[in-house]
Amino acid sequence: MGTWRIIAEDSQSRARAAVLETPHGLIHTPTFMPVGTAGAVKGLLPAQLRSMGTEVILANTYHMLVRPGVDVVEAVGGLHSFMAWDGPILTDSGGYQVLSLARLTRIEDDGVEFASHVDGRRIWLDPQTAMTVQARLGADIVMCLDQCPPHDAPYHQVRQATERTIRWAVACRRAQVKQGQMVFGIVQGGIYEDLRQFSARAMVEIGFDGYAIGGLGIGEGHDAMIRAARYTTGLLPEDRPRYLMGVGTPLDILMAVQAGIDMFDCVLPTRNGRNGYAFTMEGPLRIRNSIHSSEKAPIEPGCDCYACSNYSRAAIRHFFNVGEMLGPILLSIHNIRFYQRLMAQIRSAITDGTFHQWAERVKGSLAIYQSQAGN
């Protein structure tokens, strides 16, 4: 497994800065992982991701299994070669697709049957299969198969999913993984503290290289999510990385760092970028608005990304209006860089002992994204 070393801790919260060593390089945490679901971060080159400050990216086991298939990826040298990315990669197990593709799944105690969203063919995913596929893909960090229940599921259904996730975690831990791969267990339990405690204790007893918190950021609301994350981190070992899956907005991330989270992933920067929405410290910018039609300023003055260094708002707006693919690419570049600059500021503030004061100062400017980031 990789080594995990805490560098600094905030005295007024659970925030910490650390370094995670993997076979493909170091990950400085807290970190944000751009999402490359199907083997690529949409519209962006690996060199661009590196230039934005990205150290680790995420790919998805289910989607790679459906297309192009694990045989193809393995034949060309594994996921790093396939993606032309020489840094660390984390693969999700496909557990989230049990929720997002619920209408196409049949859940049993020993696994999940999917009807492929592409062609309808039957795909069986159980703990052994999930771990075998991830071993063949060659990711640095692999996730246990889990069941993520809907945010509004009744208590008994959440408990059932939590119990099933624990059984699957035992099977995943027993499965063979590639040498050097880290295996993360996933704590489920919704917003119920007793279920989070039940799940966390079981995962810690099984023993993993890191621990993820799943089943949050799916509609329960910001305050409930942070409460659940804060409660759960208090149940997890200090000497292991903690990963909050699928989260989130800039304020979600800042508050979750305070709660003790080290790793994040989310589609918001690229998805919103493709839809003409830019993140800035002054609030959201919608590039299609006519106010930008002749604006010479960059997306965000002071930003060092390629888009802000080379293009005006007027030019980028034009690209969107004429359907030129460069528009979505440039906003995606800016948004990923915005997130990576935020993470760098968080790490720096934790390290130099100013995190609490800095966080209180920027929370107000980030709060606007709670209601608007997905628009």
Q: What are the residue numbers of the active site?
A: 92, 265
Phi, psi of 323 (to 5 degrees): 75, 20
Q: CB-based burial of residue 197 (10 Å sphere; 0-12 exposed, 13-18 middle, 19+ buried)?
A: middle
Strands 31-33 and 111-115, bridge-based pairing: unpaired
The full DSSP string for 121-165 is: -EEEE-HHHHHHHHHHHT-SEEE-------TT--HHHHHHHHHHH
Give yes or no for a contact between 361 and 323, defined as CB atoms under 8 angstroms apart: no
**Span between the terminal Cα atoms of the chain, in Å:** 40
Antiparallel, parallel or unpaired: β 242-244 and 210-213: parallel
- With beta carbons less than 8 A apart as the criterion, state whether 92 and 143 touch: yes
Three-class HEC string of 240-302: CCEEECCCCCHHHHHHHHHCCCCEEECCHHHHHHHCCEECCCCCCEECCCHHHCCCCCCCCCC
What are 271's two structure tokens? 């998805």
Starting at the edge strand found earlier in the chain, the sheet holding 16-22 runs 4-9, 16-22, 25-29
Decide if 137 contacts 86 (C-beta within 8 A).
Answer: no
- What one-letter code names the amino acid at 151? H
| Among 171, 22, 163, CA closest to 85 | 22
For the packed helices 355-367 and 250-258, what is the interaxial angle rounded to 10 degrees?
150
